[in-house]
Amino acid sequence: MRLGLKGRLVVFVSAFIITFGVVLTALSVRAQNERLRHELEDRGKLLTTVIAANTTDALAMLEVRELRNIISEARDQENVLDAVAFDEEGRVLTDGTVVNPRRHMLISEAAFRHASGSKSLLVEFDADAMTVTKPLHLGGQVLGGVRLRYSLSGLAEDQASLARRTATVGAIFALLGVLAAALLAEAVTRPLNEVIQATRALSEGKPVPRLAVRTADEVGELAEAFNEMTRKLRDTTVSRDYLDRVLETMGECLVVTGPDGTITRVNSAVCNLSGVGEDELLGQNCRDLFRAPHGHVSLLDALGPDGSAQGLETELLARGGEAVPVMISVGAMEENVGRNRSYVVAAADISERLRHEQQKDEFVTMVHHEVRAPLTAVRGAIGLLEGGVAGELGERGQELVKIALRNSERMGRLVNDILASRKLDSGRMEFHFEKVEMMPLIEQAIDSTSAYAATHKVRFELQEGVPGAMVRVDPDRMMQVLTNVLSNAVRFSPIDDVVTVQASRSDRMLRVAVSDAGPGIPEDFRDHVFEAFARGEHEDWRHRSGTGLGMSISKGIIEELGGTITFETELGAGTTFLIDIPESV
């Protein structure tokens, strides 16, 4: 039978107490036996000494009858087995009896030797008795002595009685010890049993009562720790439920896999998108759910060293063979470093976005074919009208033709910007890189924009340059950026003001700074400066913004060229756009 903690505690503590009690009892009995023995010895010595003192005169006078009477009385004393008085030769004078059968017999040689040379008591023990010999001397001469033999049976009885009493007391204490052990075990195991029962209730999902903390010791700490654990577990459960609800509510698909890609969890979005139930999905491999991204054999193959990936476009394989385009982000979770790596795959349905992209492409194609070509024809026709091909126009006619031409050009720029923006978004804009000198590009841009600036009564001033600095860019696209920035500065410059252009070099980067003294960019618009069709809220601002695509296009181009475009602005003081492009050596 296997004992529980309580049983072991009872057995162990009881065994300890009983062993301790037995040892203590044995030691006590031994000590008390020694005490009884010493008491007997002391009594024997005292009685012998008294008897000896009483016999001294009789011995000196050789009054044997008197000696006999004294010794006879000595024999009547408790525990006295035998008594004799002996002479200086060690011969028995009397044993206290009239018959005196040992008369003249020699006492023990050891006792006689002792009596001859000492006045002290001689105590001898044998199995049954203690013999005390008291020598008597008078005037330096040995008279003889008395020798009393005491029974040890009384001592043995006393010792046995004492041992019985001690054993009884020991047994009582042992029983009390067992009882105490049982109570101790109960006291120790009761809180543990409460913990066990509470743990079982916890594992079975039953309500877990708060454990009573009765003591400030380890058991009390255990109860407190358990209560704290259940509280945290309850919180964790609530958090998990909350997380579950979040996961179930979110529109994105969420898939958790094991190290080998085995699906261990999905949210309802996955089921909805794939048309496959959760039970069926669990245990499948994610390669059965997601098509491998382009250029990879599997989804996991596309992950980086850290087990993560962002923005992977692939397809979710739905029931019935349908493939749903999704954008995937993967994160790795490691329960142990290097082992048991799990993956969290978040997949967003991008079919709608792709559809919008396709619609944009169709729109651009439509603009390109249905707007740009006719517009070119319109501009050509207006140009012919302005050139007088259709006859000399009156002043009013010329004015109207100029308005038409200006607006057609504006519309052309808008179309070009739209097409350029779309090309940038779709990655279809072509770049022809070549190593060119930067300053001529700047000067050329200034020249090409000067006419436009003149219409706004603004002039350019190239204040600083970096002669000979080379860049590796598409010159046309670089020019496009520069003219965008310059024309933008013109639009926001006050009349008769100057737009300054500075080119500088720093850490193998060339910087082109275009500054105007305009009103500055409103704070609430600064984050949207490079967004497409961003023109601000204020009427004046919107009026100056042009198509709203220029800065967006410029940013897209300059980043494709390996550079950056930023700005520094101050309301009422002006704005400086900074174009940084790597210097080519």
Q: List interacting residues with another protein (CB under 8 A).
A: 62-65, 68, 87, 93-94, 99-100, 103-105
Q: How far is the C-alpha of 191 from the C-alpha of 179, rounded, in Å?
A: 19
DSSP 216: S
CB count within 10 Å of CB 238 equals 10
CB of 91 to another protein, least distance (A): 8
Q: 3-state DSSP call for residue 113?
A: helix
Q: What is the 3-state secondary structure (H, E, C) of 244-263?
A: HHHHHHCCCEEEEECCCCEE
The distance from CA 212 to its chain's CA centroid, rounded to whole angstroms, is: 29
The smaller minimum CB distance to another protein, of residues 64 and 178, is found at 64
Sign of CA dihedral 430, 435, 440, 442: positive
Least distance from C-beta 53 to another protein, angstroms? 21
Burial (CB < 10 A; 0-12, 13-18, 19+), residue 499, is: buried
d(CA 519, CA 152): 128
Helix, strand, or coil here: 289? Answer: coil
Sign (positive/negative) of CA torsion 551, 554, 560, 561? negative
Of 63 and 124, CB closest to another protein = 63
143 or 489: CB nearest another protein? 143
Q: How far is the CB of 63 from another protein (least distance, A)?
A: 6
Judged by CB, which is closer to another protein: 142, or 489?
Answer: 142
CB of 60 to another protein, least distance (A): 11
Rounded CA gap, 162 and 33, in Å? Answer: 8
- For another protein, the closer CB: 101 or 427: 101
CB nearer to another protein: pick between 104 and 113: 104
For another protein, which is the closer residue by CB, 27 or 105? 105
Q: Is the CB of 61 or the CB of 238 nearer to another protein?
A: 61
Beta carbon of residue 131, minimum distance to another protein (angstroms, whole number): 22
- Other beta carbons within 10 angstroms of residue 249's beta carbon come to 10
Minimal distance in Å, beta carbon 141 to another protein? 13
CA separation (Å) from 568 to 296, 351, 510?
Answer: 43, 39, 17
CB of 139 to another protein, least distance (A): 16
Query: From CA 521, how far away is CA 442, in angstroms rounded?
Result: 24
As measured in angstroms, the least distance from the Cβ of 132 to another protein is 24
Nearest residue (CB) to another protein, 98 versus 127:
98
Q: In angstroms, give the least distance from the CB of 109 to another protein.
A: 17
Q: Which has the closest alpha carbon to 250: 268, 277, 271?
A: 268
**DSSP result, 61-96:** HT-HHHHHHHHHHHHTSTTEEEEEEEETTSBEEE-S
Distance of alpha carbon 108 from its chain centroid, rounded? 89
- CB of 111: closest distance to another protein in angstroms? 19
Determine the 3-state secondary structure of 454 from DSSP: helix
- Which one, 63 or 560, has the nearer CB to another protein? 63
> Backbone dihedral region of 79: left (phi > 0), alpha (psi from -120 to 50 degrees) or beta?
left
